[in-house]
Every structure is written in structure tokens, then in C-alpha cells.
Amino acid sequence: MTKDSAIQWKAHPEAVAAIAGGYHGNPFDVLGLHQIENDDKPMFVVRAFQPQARAVEVVFAKGKSVPMEKTHDYGFFEVQLNEKQAKSGYRLHITTMADTQYELDDAYRFAPVLGDADLYLHGEGTHMQLYNKMGAHPMEVQGVKGVCFAVWAPNAERVSVIGDFNNWDGRRHPMRLRGNSGIWELFIPALQGGDLYKYEIKTRYMGYMVEKTDPFGFSAELRPRTSSIVWDINAYQWNDNDWMAQRSARQRLDAPISVYELHLGSWMRKPEDGNRFLTYSELADKLIPYLQETAFTHVELLPVTEHPFDGSWGYQAVGYFAPTSRFGTPDQFKQFVDRLHQAGIGVIVDWVPAHFPKDQHGLSFFDGTHLYEHSDPRQGEHMDWGTYIFNFGRNEVQSFLLNSALFWLDKYHIDGLRVDAVASMLYLDYSRKAGEWVPNQFGGRENLEAVAFLKRFNELVHLNYPDVLTFAEESTAWGGVSRPTYLGGLGFDLKWNMGWMHDTLVYIEKEPIHRRYHHGTLTFSLIYAFTENFILPFSHDEVVHGKGSMLSKMPGDYWQKFANLRNLYGYMFTHPGKKLLFMGQEFGQWNEWNYQQSMDWNLLDFDNHSALKYYVGDLNRLVRKEPALHQVDFESRGFEWIDHNDGDNSVISYLRYAHDRNDFVVVVCNFTPVPRFGYRIGVPKGGFYREILNSDSAVYGGSNLGNQGGVQAHEYGWQGRSHSLEITLPPLATVAFKL
């Protein structure tokens, strides 16, 4: 309730016209209950704008009512009250043009919900639970249930909440601007979860008006529809206490971590039902036993944030707080995560703070200005992707993104965030020619604001959720990506080893007869393997856009293709670093990944494909079982070459050590189709060495050439070691031994 300065109780005609015309910037100055200055006795007035109404009455708590006077043809109503009436509380009784009747609470009689501290911390960029304030929140205010809306649009002339509840009429529920914060707020009684809404923003830019989805919206309509949906983000009851209690141990850097990268929309579909998506529940039903069978420790989801274009795979998001409605509701996605946790499987999601699409209903040109993005296209646009770049130098934008990251960890119990396109964030000249970028304040090419943002992101994640992992998809030689910020690093836990992926694929795609000339390409990764905490990826990017599937990349005939792929995976899973495979690679998909259809699950009807899947499961089980294959992935003490110089035979051999140096595994890889009998390698100790892996086993589809369970070490020094093994090395195979 506010005081009006004029004794005249009726609103000024210009103010009424502004309300009726939808361009008044502060509706609470006019609408609702106001006290009129009067020397004799207190006077009050209630004003309402109800363009759908033929008549409006003010109804008091005890049931009495007084009719309001219609003072503008568009539906502006006013009535004068005495002090007793004003203090008794009121509702509005509406009679529509069609003579239907209903009552409602007046949205303009409620005080603000956000506190001054919220506004201050938002402007400072330090409010790290802003998702509990911004957006749409069902709540009870003064005993009345409804929804409180809050949105940041500092350059708007007027912001309104629109939806089915007001016939999408932006004049009906204009919001209150909170001082100089740029935040607009409104509590609307009677709204509830499931209601559709948007923000109608009238800008100061030549009268430009636009409808926007809620940047903090928790749920959204299925594309191509674009409304946000009111959702109670706190209603779901979690059942993953055991997982959350064990997560710290399961996600230590010396724990086994093997990730199954997954696109929810194309892992499996229902071709018999119009090729529809599986729901979150159906995905859990199918995915959980599959991951348990193949023994992956984690699943990584391509972005689940709401996005308009299927072909972006989720990497062009408009809903940074909303799981995509393609597969169900927010609570159904929570249940999906919950069930994975109960099955002992961690959940990593791809998160994209580098850029966002230009779709009109999204973040672009949000309030008539470049609010979230840079205005200069040399700083604000990714020309390759047709997207906008976030303005990392703006406090409120940093806060928005940081809140998004923390939100997924808080509300959805996500175990890891893989940050996409980090390289594009680090460099101002990323994919730009001379003259197409703006140097930093020191004249350099480093994006200092983005660097500061990434460091702050990692610090906040690890401060609030120390058992959560962060991953960087970063392809350059930037130093210290996975080193702590207090040592000058970016603070990520793990970095994708894009160099290893590229070099290894270049090598393995060559005909075996030519590999001897490219031996250094294979061994080069160990020169820098311990400069970062690396995860070894064969990701979705390697099986699209004409690159071919992993199996089709392999040279040779049908048998050799499978043998090469088994050998490659054997090398990968015994190489230092955590592991990641994209879906379909575990059973030998022939076709490139197509986001519009299922994986070719029918291939599992064929022995070689089902055997390959079984082999990958055994690799995962081996890595889990053997401390030497997971405990010391990021330090040189965990790895030792036996021989990296046998390029003539295209053979490499090495040792992997656990924390306990007496616990080690011997690995030998033969990258030719030539079996080698009596191949000698040096080992540190005498004794019997059991063969714990042979990718040429008949169980995996191989020729079943091997070492009959193991070999006895000879007291014959070799390659600088006291003992040696004389082994049978199968063709195109990886074998591993343990003392």
C-alpha cells in the first residue's frame, strides 16, 4: 500500500492511459490499494485493470462488497474506501463480457518477495543461490498460494508475465521494477505448477516488444513451442543417499573412472511407434542394466538443457535451468538420475557456457540490448556456429552461468560437469582472422574475462561440492587446465586428451604395413601424458560429419577390422588416464552416428558385435579390478616403458604400477597382423605371470592365440631388467600379464 500525493482519488488520466496501453513502467504506483492524502480523515482507493471485465467489485473478508467504477473503456476500475474497509483485506469479483463470474486475489496488493540483499548480491554477481529467487517459484504469501516471478531486464520499459491465465495479454500483469537492480518481480495469486508463461518485454529500443522464455525457467514446452512452465523444483524426494555418501570415494582421481558418452535422443528409440524418443523412465529401464553389463562407472549425457534445434545435439541451449522436455518432466529426469545412482552409476552432463543460439525467444537481445552477449560481433559472435558469446566481464552474466552450474549439482544431484568448447572461451582469436577480433587490455589474444570465469566456476564447484568432478574439453596447449587455481591453473579435475585421440586415430587408420613408419605418432602421447589429468576420449565428434564410425575407420578385412578395434581399446584401457567411449563404439556400430535414429542394436545379433561388447565390459572390469590400471593415472611413477622403440615390428610394451610398486601389470600391444612367437620382454621380478587380458581370445572373436594362461619369468636379464618373459604375441592384439 502506498500514499498518493493528490487529494483527487481518481488516478491521473495519463497514468490510466499508460496502464491501459501497456507502457507504464511502474504499475504498483497506480494499481492496488493506495492511501489518499486527506487532512480530515484517511481515505483509500483500490484500482484494477481488468480488460476482460464488464464489472468489478471489491469483496471484503466478511463477504460484503462495493462496486468499482469503470473509468477507462479498456477496463480500468477504481473505488474509494474508508479506513475500516481498507484494513479488512479484499479480493476482486469479476463479471466478464460473457457474463461469467469469478473471484481473484489482486496481484497488486502484495509486497515484494525478493529482499534487498538478493538485489545487491545479484548486481555484485555473488548470489550463488539465485535460482531459489529468480524464475517462477510456487509459494504462499500472506496466506495466499501463487507463483512469484522474477527476471533481470534492466533496459526494459515494461515487463509483464503472460500466459493462459491472462489470455497472453501483456497489459494484465506488468511487473514491479526493483530499484536500480534491473530485476522485475511479481507475485500472481492462484497460479500453480504446470501453468505456461513467458515474459513480454517492451523495450526502450524504438518500441520493440518481444516474448521471452524465462532464463531461469525450470521447465519448458516441447519444441517447437517455446513457453516456460511453472515447476516446483523442490518437490521430488530423492532415494540416492547411499550413492551420495560414497561419491567422494568413487570419484577420487585414483579411482577407476570409465565413462559411457550418450545422446539421449538417439541411443535408443521406438521405431515401431513413429520412431519416437524413449522417456526418461524408459531410458532408465534400458540403460541401467546395459551399463551394469558393460561395467562403465559413469554415463555422460550430451547437453540435457532445453534447446530448440535437435541438430545442435543440445549444444545450443536456451534453458540453462530446464532439462529438455523431449523425454519427460523435470521430476522424471530427477528420477532417471536417482535410479542410476541407486545402481551405482555416476551421471555427468555436458554444460555449455561458451555460447548460446540467436533464437528470438531465448537470451539474445533480451531486453532490447545485448544483455547476455557482447554487442561487438568481433567479441560477441561465433561465426562458425552462428551463435552469441556470453559477456563474461559482466557480473550478472557470470552469476547467471555460475548459478546454472551449481543448480544442476544441487537440484539434480549431478556428479560431474563437462564444459564444452573451452578452447573457444580461452582465446579471443579463436577461429578468427586478423582484424576479426579485439585484443585484451594487454594486447594479447587470451580472453582474460573468460579465464577468470572458468577459474571461479571451478573454485565454486569444488568449494560447494568437493566430490563433484569437472571436465574440460580443451584442445590447445594451454597450460594447467587441470591444475588448481592456487597454482595458476584453471582448476578442472580432468582434461580431455584431444591430442592422444587425434594421434592414435591417425596411427590406427593406417594399414599395418605402414605403421612402422609412424611409430612415434603412437608413442608421442607419453611425452606429455602427465602434464595434465587426462581422460582419453573417443567421443561423438569422431563419428560424425564423414569421419566414419570407429569400426569403419579400421583398415583391413572384416576380421582385421574387429581385431584392430579390440587392439585399440586394449591399448586405450591400459594407457594412463581415465576412459570415455561414445555410444555404439562398444559393439562396433558400422554407420556414422545419426542423431535422428537409434543405434543399430540389431548388430548385437551377430557374434563379432556381441563379442566386442563383451570385450569392452571385460576391459572395464579389468580396470576396476586392477589398482595398477587406475590408481596412478596422472603421475609418471605409474608408468614405465619396457620398449617403445620396436617400430620395425609395430610393438610397444610397458608397465603400469599401483600405489604399491609391487603391484604392477605388464602390457604388450602388437599393431600388425603377424603373430610373434618367443617375443621377449624384460620384467622387474621373477615368478609366474598370469595372462589377465588377451584381446585375441576366441571369446572376443579372435583367433585364440595366446599363452595358455600365463608364462614363467626367466632369470635372464633383458631390456635393463633382471628377468624376462618369452611370450606369444597374437596378431593385432593387446595382452596383459600380472605377477
**Helical axes 241-250 vs 330-342, angle rounded to 10°:** 60
C-alpha cell at position 579 = 576412459
Spatial distance between the Cα atoms of 615 and 618, rounded to a whole number of angstroms: 5
Q: Helices marked H in 232-371 — which ranges?
A: 241-250, 280-294, 330-342
Spatial distance between the Cα atoms of 395 and 121, rounded to a whole number of angstroms: 10
For residue 310, what are the contacts with CB-CB under 8 A and spacing of at least 6? Answer: 223, 265, 595, 596
Rounded to 5 degrees, what are φ and ψ at 461? -60, -45
Spatial distance between the Cα atoms of 612 and 606, rounded to a whole number of angstroms: 10
- Strand order across the 387-389 sheet: 355-356, 387-389, 381-382
Catalytic-labelled residue, pool 415, 420, 542, 633: 420
C-alpha cell at position 523 = 608413442
Spatial distance between the Cα atoms of 643 and 661, rounded to a whole number of angstroms: 19
Catalytic-labelled residue, pool 157, 373, 415, 473: 473
Report the residue count for the chain.
Answer: 739
Spatial distance between the Cα atoms of 314 and 304, rounded to a whole number of angstroms: 6
Q: How distant is the alpha carbon of residue 579 from its chain centre?
A: 19
| Dihedral sign computed on CA atoms, order 522, 526, 532, 533 | positive
Cβ-based neighbour number of residue 510 at 10 Å: 17
Rounded to 5 degrees, what are φ and ψ at 640? -150, 125
Q: From residue 316, give the alpha-carbon distance in Å to each of 375, 548, 732.
A: 19, 24, 41
Residue type, 17: A
Spatial distance between the Cα atoms of 148 and 140, rounded to a whole number of angstroms: 9
Residue type, 122: H
Spatial distance between the Cα atoms of 437 and 167, rounded to a whole number of angstroms: 45
User: Which of 674, 706, 688 is closest to 556 using CA atoms?
Assistant: 674
Residue type, 664: F
Spatial distance between the Cα atoms of 12 and 651, rounded to a whole number of angstroms: 89
C-alpha cell at position 280 = 526418461
Residue 420 catalytic? yes
> How many helices and strands, by DSSP H and E, does the chain display?
16, 40
Helix (H, G, I), strand (E, B) or coil at 226: coil
Helix (H, G, I), strand (E, B) or coil at 67: strand
C-alpha cell at position 238 = 530423492
Pairing type for strands 32-36 and 2-4 reads parallel
Whether 691 contacts 699, CB under 8 Å: no
Residue 473 catalytic? yes
Spatial distance between the Cα atoms of 115 and 142, rounded to a whole number of angstroms: 16
DSSP 705: -
Which residues participate in catalysis according to the annotation? 420, 473
